[in-house]
Amino acid sequence: MDMSKFPITDKTEITRLPKRGVYDKEAVFQILDEALFCTLAYVREGQPFQIPTGFVRIEDKIYIHGSVGSFYMRELRDKKQSVCVSVTLMDGLVLARSAFHHSVNYRSVVIFGEPQLVESKDELYDALEAFTEKMCRGRWNDVRKPTENEWKTTMLLSIEIKEASAKVRTGPPKDDEEDYSMDVWAGVVPLKIEHRAPIPDPDLKTGVKIPEYLVKR
Amino acid sequence: MDMSKFPITDKTEITRLPKRGVYDKEAVFQILDEALFCTLAYVREGQPFQIPTGFVRIEDKIYIHGSVGSFYMRELRDKKQSVCVSVTLMDGLVLARSAFHHSVNYRSVVIFGEPQLVESKDELYDALEAFTEKMCRGRWNDVRKPTENEWKTTMLLSIEIKEASAKVRTGPPKDDEEDYSMDVWAGVVPLKIEHRAPIPDPDLKTGVKIPEYLVKR
């Protein structure tokens, strides 16, 4: 068994356009690390629900966090059910010569796993630091660290990434052979999430300068 | 009953931070129209699954499409089950003075509804044109229209937006009163999906110029 790949299971097998399927762990982890949020789907009384939420990956687990008062966090903690987590990065609009072959370049990951309450303080601290650093590298050292009470009101759930697959499309459009002679422009419009110039809090204390890690972006 | 708002139901009520809840139809539609993809969650034998997919909204329906050979499209067509559709737009990183109050500015929508096979040819044609135009306004007039066979191999499902809610966060960080005097920069880093310069297909026919609607972006 190749340990660098996720096993292909009934749930994770890419049946539609299987050539786009990716089971390589490093490739899956890279997509997860680039994504700003995931959507988590779970079932309540037969009805699917979805929660868009921030997350962070550390080794072979992803972590989500929320308030201990959050209804869905408590539900996820208590139900011990397999959930589905997905992330999608949109890389480009693929403009073909025919309407039919229009597509998008994307990288998506789907994970199946069971949320577990994290009870270890060390794991909680590490994950919360990783959340902050994922949002903005260098930030953790700058900010006020959580108080005892803030830690207590934060619930952290981990999901071990046992079953996962990615689906990836890259490159130019694929048109029907006979359409390549058409006088229609075809190609890709790349999409990129841009970080714009930071907007200071209107209540920013006078004299506080913008940190280096924000200027360099 | 206010017809410009979605009713607040057990499924769509925002219980966590209810002040972020939005039920106004126009606000929900605007978020949907800006989103490049949605994730659709459905249940198979008690297990939630998610599909990231393109979609388009026309009036009070959203449409998804796929191949008639697609396993999940056939499943959605046949199962007559209530699914959950979500879209999320990430508008900014909210950097607070404390790690605890870090957040994101976002606009998300969650919809509950039952997929219906679209059998009307007119509705199919209109939706497919809208898909292409949503991706790139002006494109439909330029490209080769679908052949009879291409139409036949395309499955279109509609979901009437009866139950929906949005959740929105905007503005600067909210810190604890005593933290505003800290010497820590705080504010928002706006995020924006940027359309980069189009990359022509390597097999582009010689002499074909880039269309106006792509230059203007």
The domain defined by A18-175+198-215 carries CATH number 2.30.110.10: yes
Do the chains contact at A143 and B96, CB–CB below 8 Å?
A: yes
Element (H, E) at A15: none
**A156 φ/ψ angles, rounded to the nearest 5 degrees:** -120, 130
State the pLDDT confidence band at B200, using cuts at 50, 70 and 90. very high
Do the chains contact at A186 and B204, CB–CB below 8 Å?
A: yes
Residues of B in contact with A48 (CB under 8 A): 41-43, 48, 82-84
pTM of the model: 0.94
pLDDT for position B22: 86
The interface predicted TM-score of the complex, written ipTM, equals 0.94
A183 → closest Cβ in B100, B197, B208? B208
Burial track A23-39 (b if 16+ CB lie within 10 A, e otherwise): bebebbbbbbeebbbbb
**Residues A161-178: pLDDT tens digits?**
999 999 999 999 999 999
pLDDT for position B216: 65
**DSSP label at B19?**
G
**Residues B82-138: pLDDT tens digits?**
999 999 999 999 999 999 999 999 999 999 999 999 999 999 999 999 999 999 999
Read off the pLDDT of each residue in B154-174 and give the average, rounded to a whole number: 96
**Residues B49-64: pLDDT tens digits?**
999 999 999 999 999 9
Percent of chain A scored above 70 by pLDDT?
99
The answer, for A71 touching chain B at a CB cutoff of 8 Å, is yes
* A:B CB pairs within 8 Å: 285
Cα distances from B144 to residues A93, A144, B122, in angstroms, run 17, 58, 18
Closest residue, chain B, to A16 (C-alpha) = B70
d(CA B91, CA A42): 25
pLDDT for position A217: 52
**Residues A89-121: pLDDT tens digits?**
999 999 999 999 999 999 999 999 999 999 999
Is it the case that residue B141 has pLDDT exceeding 80? yes
**Residues A197-206: pLDDT tens digits?**
999 999 999 9
Residues of A in contact with B199 (CB under 8 A): 172, 187-190
Write the burial class of residue B47 (CB in 10 Å: 0-12 exposed, 13-18 middle, 19+ buried).
Answer: middle
pLDDT for position B2: 73
**Residues B10-22: pLDDT tens digits?**
888 888 788 888 8
pLDDT for position B1: 63
State the pLDDT confidence band at A16, using cuts at 50, 70 and 90. confident
pLDDT for position A11: 87
pLDDT for position A95: 98
Instruction: Domain B18-179+187-215: give its CATH superfamily.
Output: Electron Transport, Fmn-binding Protein; Chain A (2.30.110.10)
d(CA B79, CA B66): 16
State the pLDDT confidence band at A133, using cuts at 50, 70 and 90. very high
State the pLDDT confidence band at A20, using cuts at 50, 70 and 90. confident
